[in-house]
Structure 1
Amino acid sequence: MKDISPDHTIILAKMRHIEELEQLSICTAFVDTIGLLIHQIQAERGASCLYLASSGQRFGNERSDIIEQNQDAELKFREALQRHLDQNNLVDAKQLTLVSWILLGFDQMTALRHQITLHKISFPDCIASFNRFIGSLISLIFDITDNAVNSRISTSLLALYNLVQGKEFAGQERAVGSYMFGSGQVQQEHQQKLLELIVLQDRHFELFCQFGGKALHKAWTAAMGASTQHRYQQYRHKLTHAQDGQSVKIHDGYEWFELCSQRLSEMWQMQCWLIKDMHDMLETLINDAKNDLAKTRQYLQKTQRQPAKQPTALDSTFFNLSIPVENAYTFLAHDKQHSYPMESIVSLLQQQSQQIAEIENELAETKQALAERKQIERAKGLLMSQRGISEVEAYKILRSTAMEQNRKIIDVANNILARHSLV
């Protein structure tokens, strides 16, 4: 058995780093597949709502074509899931449980589609069923984001999550509006839902622009300012400002559906752009990590060929007391203002610690954003349960309380959860 040495373990650390990046690349490919599936299920939901609203008179053929495409998408999802599980040891029990729910949803999708075809399901139940399934897929994206080990990829995944979640609310808006046009009149219940969906979209798209970077923010602004968006906003205004029971032109449902679909397609293009950017980023990171590993091996081989030096004092390497202990072997970047007399392996370890420190510090900011999102969602869910209110109303309470008390929303959320734990 070969003796374990600092040389061996520093090489192992760099090899593990490469493995983490390669596993993250597999995760990103899986997220890409999930995003495509969500996009196509959203299209099926929209077609199903028009089909039900028209009592099966319209969108029957289109719906059938979409279902056929989605059956192929399901197979691709299962194949990508198998690769994800086979090649990724980052998958934990929580994620596997969520995957189990998604697979159960797939198993019951045939029955849901059959109920829609036979008009044996109401519009609210139809859209709620699709929303639940899509919501589970989006939750899987969030869980993968939460487990990401690279700060740059984690930030991009967080931007992607908010884009996909905002796009989902936009898809629900298309479905609700399509049903209202298809039925020929505005119902207050559906109108209120539309208003809630608009608020939820705005919140997630704001976070998408925050984490997506300047280029995506610029592209988003340009896309949302396009001429077709003006026509879409006119239809949105018509639906949200109409009187309860007011008639609308059924024929306008076609243009509404197309305008919303075009808007969703633009979001989809940005989603593809973001995914490609992550793939390119990971390819570069993996190549850089492999080059670093090769250089480290060459460096260590070179030092091993040099004659061994006899230690003359305790402070020659590990016991160099001029190096602060918190900088010697923890994941903190060393003080660049001072240079320390270090032997080769110590210098290498300091460099490795600094690299990890930079990753950890950057990742901490993204992890904090993820943790705050979880706490806000928990507080929001608690308010919804206790007061019997909608998601938008719960968020409004959090936001207004934060403004009144001059506090952050996360602080208000933590306070609500803390008070509940004491009951």
Structure 2
Amino acid sequence: MQNISPDNTILLAKTRHIEELERLSVSIQFVESIGWMVHQLQAERGASCLYLASAGSRFAKERSAIIEQNQISESAFKEALQRYLHHNTSADAKQLTLVSWILLGLEQLLPFRHQVTLLKIPFSDCIQSYTRLIGSLISLIFEITDNTVNSKISSYLVALYNLVQGKEFAGQERALGSHLFGSGYMQLEHQHKLLELIAQQDRHFELFNQFGTDALREAWRTTLETEAHHTQRAYRSKLTAAKDQQALQRADSDAWFEACSTRLTEIWHIQCQLVAAMHDTLNSLSEQARRDLENTRLHLGELKARQTPTSNVDSTFFNLAIPLESAFTFLAHDELTPYPMESIIALLQQQSQQLAEIENELSETKKSLAERKRIERAKGLLMSKLGLSEMEAYKMLRNTAMEQNRKLIDIAENIITLSAQGQ
């Protein structure tokens, strides 16, 4: 066993950083698998809804093909999950409980699919059932993102979470619009839900653009100019402008579904681009970390070779001119402070500066995640106390924020505070 020394522990710190990046690589692979499962289940939900809407006369073959592909995807997901749990032994109880719910949902997919095939599941129940499973998978992406400590990867994951969540609301919009066009008339209740789905999409896509890279924002802007986007918006306008019980053209159902599906595919391509960029960034960080470890090891060897029996106080812990505070308070390195750079103190200062930069970069993403959790908490309180649905609770939060000209998070904090006070 090596002796405990400053040299060994600084090398251990850098080694642990490399190990952290390796675990993060497995996490990203798992998140990628989750994203694929979400995409495939969205496709299955769409085909199943059209199958039910046509009383089983249409989309039977297409649905069967998607289900067959999804059964393969489920196996790949479980393999990725096993790797993730093996390498991330610190996965907390909340993540593991959520994983248990997801595995239970996957186990019960087979009998659920059979009931859909037999036309024994109502249309609305079909949508809600798939949405529950998809929502659980997206929540798992959020939990993994919330536990990521690397600032660059965390930003990517926040962008990914919001893109996937926005895409899910777009998928729900596709299903709801198909139901409305297929029914042949507008139902005010469904129109209100449609408007909420649109508002939710806008919110999450805005956050995606906030945390995404310039390349991802440019890819997003490009999708806003596609024919599918303009077609989908035109049909959306028909739905949002219609009066209660107004007649709708059933023939528009297929065109709406096709435009929405193409739009979802365009978003999926951006998702793939984001995941690829995240892998590239992580590979670059890993290579950089390994070079840093090797350079540090060589530099420590050179310092040790130059050591003399007489200790030089100017390069030791007790040189008061060296701003040692940054080693444990994570202050930025002061370039103007003179001290001998060729010392282990310099290496420790450099390490502390790197940690300070990571801490600063991570704060914005963590703030976004914390706000999301508080908003979800406030929604849950409203749902419990007032008997509201999730969409109704969010609508109440958003409308209150608009009426009072305040931020959504501020309204959420007020609700949580009042609840804690028993009001």
Aligned to 1:109: 109
Aligned to 1:128: 128
**What is the deviation of 1:63?**
0.7
Q: State the distance in 1 between where 2:283 and 2:195 align.
A: 42
Aligned to 1:299: 299
CA RMSD of aligned residues (A): 1.9
**What is the deviation of 1:233?**
1.4
Counterparts in 2 of 1:96-245, with a 5 A limit?
Answer: 96-245=96-245
Given the two structures, how large is their TM-score scaled by the length of structure 2?
0.95
1:47 paired to 2:47: yes
Q: State the distance in 2 between where 1:383 and 1:359 align.
A: 36
Amino acid at match of 1:167: K
Counterparts in 2 of 1:257-276, with a 5 A limit?
Answer: 257-276=257-276
Amino acid at match of 1:398: L
**What is the deviation of 1:385?**
2.9
Q: Which string of whole-angstrom CA distances, capped at 9 and with x for unpartnered residues, describes residues 175-233 of structure 1? A: 11122233333333322221221111111111111111322222212212222322211
277-286 vs 193-202, which moves further: 193-202
8 A Cα contact 1:327 1:334, kept in partner: yes
392-401 vs 212-221, which moves further: 392-401
**Partner SS, residue 273 of structure 1:** helix
Q: How many residues align?
A: 422
Aligned to 1:327: 326
**What is the deviation of 1:403?**
5.0
**What is the deviation of 1:407?**
4.1
Q: Which string of whole-angstrom CA distances, capped at 9 and with x for unpartnered residues, describes residues 324-347 of structure 1? A: 452244332222222234661111
**What is the deviation of 1:312?**
5.5
Q: State the distance in 2 between where 1:213 and 1:343 align.
A: 37
Amino acid at match of 1:193: K
8 A Cα contact 2:166 2:202, kept in partner: yes
**Partner SS, residue 409 of structure 2:** helix
8 A Cα contact 1:162 1:207, kept in partner: yes
Aligned to 1:370: 369
Unaligned runs of 5+ in 2: none
Over 3 Å counting, the alpha-carbon distance change for 1:172 and 1:320 in structure 2 is same
Aligned to 1:16: 16
Counterparts in 2 of 1:271-282, with a 5 A limit?
Answer: 271-282=271-282
Amino acid at match of 2:359: E
Amino acid at match of 2:283: E
Q: State the distance in 2 between where 1:195 and 1:408 align.
A: 20
Q: State the distance in 2 between where 1:250 and 1:300 align.
A: 75
Q: State the distance in 1 between where 2:234 and 2:256 align.
A: 10
319-328 vs 353-362, which moves further: 319-328
Amino acid at match of 2:156: S
Give % identity.
63
Q: Which string of whole-angstrom CA distances, capped at 9 and with x for unpartnered residues, describes residues 257-276 of structure 1? A: 11100000000000000000
Q: State the distance in 1 between where 2:368 and 2:182 align.
A: 40
Given the two structures, how large is their TM-score scaled by the length of structure 1?
0.95
Q: State the distance in 1 between where 2:50 and 2:184 align.
A: 12
Over 3 Å counting, the alpha-carbon distance change for 1:54 and 1:184 in structure 2 is farther
1:409 paired to 2:382: no
Q: Which string of whole-angstrom CA distances, capped at 9 and with x for unpartnered residues, describes residues 307-361 of structure 1? A: 4342365x64112222345224433222222223466111111111111111111
Unaligned runs of 5+ in 1: none
Over 3 Å counting, the alpha-carbon distance change for 1:23 and 1:201 in structure 2 is same
111-120 vs 5-14, which moves further: 111-120
**Partner SS, residue 121 of structure 2:** coil
Amino acid at match of 2:415: I
Q: Which string of whole-angstrom CA distances, capped at 9 and with x for unpartnered residues, describes residues 50-102 of structure 1? A: 11111111111111111111111101101111111122234222211111110
8 A Cα contact 2:323 2:337, kept in partner: no
